[in-house]
Structure 1
Amino acid sequence: MKVLVIGAAGMIGRKLLEQVAKTPNILGAPVSGLTLVDVIEPAAPAALADKAKCQALDLSTDGAAEALIAERPDIIFNLAAVVSGEAEADFDKGYRVNLDGGRALLEAIRHEGQREAYKPRLIFASSVAVFGAPFPEKIGDEFFTTPLTSYGTQKAIIELLIADYSRRGIIDGVSIRLPTICVRPGKPNAAASGFFSNILREPLVGQEAVLPVDDSVRHWFASPRAAVGFFTHAATLDLAKVGPRRSLMMPGLSATVADQIAALEKVAGPKATALIRREPDATIQGIVAGWPCDFDPKRAIELGFTAETSFEEIIRIHIEDELGGQIGV
């Protein structure tokens, strides 16, 4: 089986590949060929290095999508994106990467299928940002998409295209609407949601973190481990059970910033929470105010997707997966 991962240098891409390397049949069959691309050259896990081709590539540039699809991958993970804060700040870049790149990929698949029969599985990383306020207390599977950011709009458009190209038999596609992934390892990125991870990740290693919003802010979360599980499960899921509505809200945990801080104190003590410095940021507050905060994802749960049920569990997963089981505060 040939696998293409777009956005393979990102956090979820790297962790997905690590899981594939550890569990060879997790995508339904052994991987015979692996193409990994990102705007910086990604690296393959050692166990997959002999099967992998890694390259730096911008999907939105002329001919890039066609070159990737010419290899006719069986499963395509499209994880690449200009993240929320950056897409809002740089209108042109957000639409070029998040929309034009995604459509170029779909069109390359369509043209390859016109040349010779071809229908890959395409798994797209979407977001809760496809929803916009006002919200019900819990957002169910029937709630409409009215994004209030450019990033959310770009994701929603690609979701619609994936549903239509699947309906036309061009792809077998599904859009995975991710909760905010927390705790993200590594350094802060340009995502407006980055502080949700920062206020946990930095204090756990004895470093100060800035909190730009009120403690009362509520949001929808899942761990990186859960996110990888969403994508591997989607790779083997019978998509006939999904039907024509090819966008699925993933399970997660609804929690406030205060809940996060309380869980951090329970796991790491008051020395950790004392490292959180409150610096209100009106721009981030405005973006976050338009995001949903609680869901009732019945369809995904019935289809076998799972996530954490407490923030303490999310923090302990980060300590286990990223800190070798040790707290540095």
Structure 2
Amino acid sequence: MRRVLIIGGGGMVGQKLAHRLSVEGLDGDTDIEVTLFDMAYPEGGAPAAERIVGQLGNFADIDALVAARYDVIFHLAAIVSGESESDFQKGWLINGAAFLHFGMKLEEEHRVSGGAYVPRVVFTSSIAVFGPPFPDQIPDDQPLTPQTSYGAQKACAELMMNDLGRRGIVEAVSIRLPTIVVRPGKPNLAASSFFSGIIREPLNGQEAILPVDESVRHWHASPRAAVGFLIHAAGLDTALLGDNRALSMPGVSCTVAEQIESLRAAAGDKAVALIRHEPNETIQRIVGGWARDFDPARALALGFRADADFDAIVRAYIEDYLTD
């Protein structure tokens, strides 16, 4: 039996991943046991063998997780972009120091085992590791020049993952997720939250706030696609990655105006009328420093696949969360 740990298993993507693993297994292997770790879990959430309540800011919790020697670890937990920017200490504690401690404990457990313990670790990084000036499409060899604390924290974690992989301590894969939309539930503190809000709220008959200009272009993938990325990464031959274990995931590049047109196609003018423009300089500044389009050649060559277009992203949300 393979033992699987999802750090951040109470969050939206973690729950969706756990649900899919419970149905399909991992790489066709249904003989798996899934453990979730998070600060809290939704009522009636995804099935799991165990749900551990804890915090990454408590390093003793990290020590206990690593000491349990899971075969596959999905590391999804993070302080999101907006909160990382507004709370420097919290962002660097959880996204920075806690992740570095996690890596050091993995090295220790590997060493104590005499080199026998080599887990697969899939880490969710972010396109925020890139900063301007941007080419029309960001290639796989684009230098990491983050312009936010969140991006800097994710870049540091990527370097730790590269080092763990280089040393043979873990089978390391870092996947740089596009902004994941449309997220169900309530808005979070991410600066990108409005990308989901301007679709989700109108589809639910509620008003949505748009804090940026409609000309803003960004890189997106659905929650359904994100789970597909994670599962594919867990089965990937890491020898194909060489020394760079980080991959920019495929996605859909579109403007806010194009997002709104996809909403209109799915739900009509009445839904679009629920979007209220309310400029926010802080969010505009953060989003203005983000990547807009990618050429994810490495990921595509390795078999990663995303949504066909933004219409498909909206349809996925309706099918997964609004259809009985």
Q: If the TM-score is normalised by the length of the shorter chain, which range does it land in? A: over 0.9
Alpha carbons of structure 1 residues 276 and 183: separation in structure 2 relative to 1, 3 Å = same
Change (3 A) 1:35 1:82: same
2:182 paired with 1:183:
yes
Provide Cα deviations, 1:53-102, integer angstroms capped at 9, x if missing partner. Answer: 21211123132111111111000000000000000000000000001111
| Counterpart-to-counterpart distance in 2, 1:304 and 1:14 | 24
- Residues 43 and 122 of structure 1: is their aligned pair in 2 closer, same or farther, counting only changes over 3 Å? farther
User: Cα RMSD over matched residues?
Assistant: 1.4
Aligned positions of 1:180-259 closer than 5 A: 180-259=179-258
> Of 70, 90, 115, which aligns to 2:112?
115
Matched residues, number: 321
Structure 2: gaps of 5 or more residues: none
Partner of 1:160: 159
Instruction: Show structure 1 runs of 4+ deviating over 4 A.
Output: 41-46
Find the counterpart in structure 1 of residue 39 from structure 2: 39
Contact 1:17 1:44 in 2 (8 A): no
> Take 2:44 and 2:185, find their aligned partners in 1: how far apart are those partners?
18
Q: Percent identity?
A: 54
- Work out the CA distance in 2 between the residues paired with 1:152 and 1:82: 11
Does the C-alpha gap of structure 1 residues 107 and 41 become closer, same or farther in structure 2, counting only changes over 3 Å? farther
Contact 1:9 / 1:43 at 8 angstroms: preserved in 2?
no
Query: Could you say which residue in structure 1 is the equivalent of 2:4?
Result: 3
Q: Tell me how far apart the structure 1 counterparts of residues 163 and 104 of structure 2 sit (CA, whole Å).
A: 12
TM-score by length of 1: 0.95
- Counterpart for residue 50 of structure 2: 53
Kindly provide the amino acid, as one letter, of the partner of residue 40 in structure 2.
I
Q: Which moved more, 1:227-236 or 1:65-74?
A: 65-74
1:113 to 1:74, Cα distance in 2 relative to 1, 3 A: same
Tell me whether 1:106 sits opposite 2:103 in the alignment.
yes
Query: Normalised by the size of structure 2, how large is the TM-score?
Result: 0.96
Which residue is equivalent to 2:81?
84
Q: Secondary structure at the match of 1:63?
A: helix
> Measured at CA, do residues 43 and 167 of structure 1 come closer, stay the same or move farther in structure 2, by a change above 3 Å?
farther
SS at structure 2 position matched to 1:317:
helix
Structure 1 equivalent of residue 90 of structure 2: 93
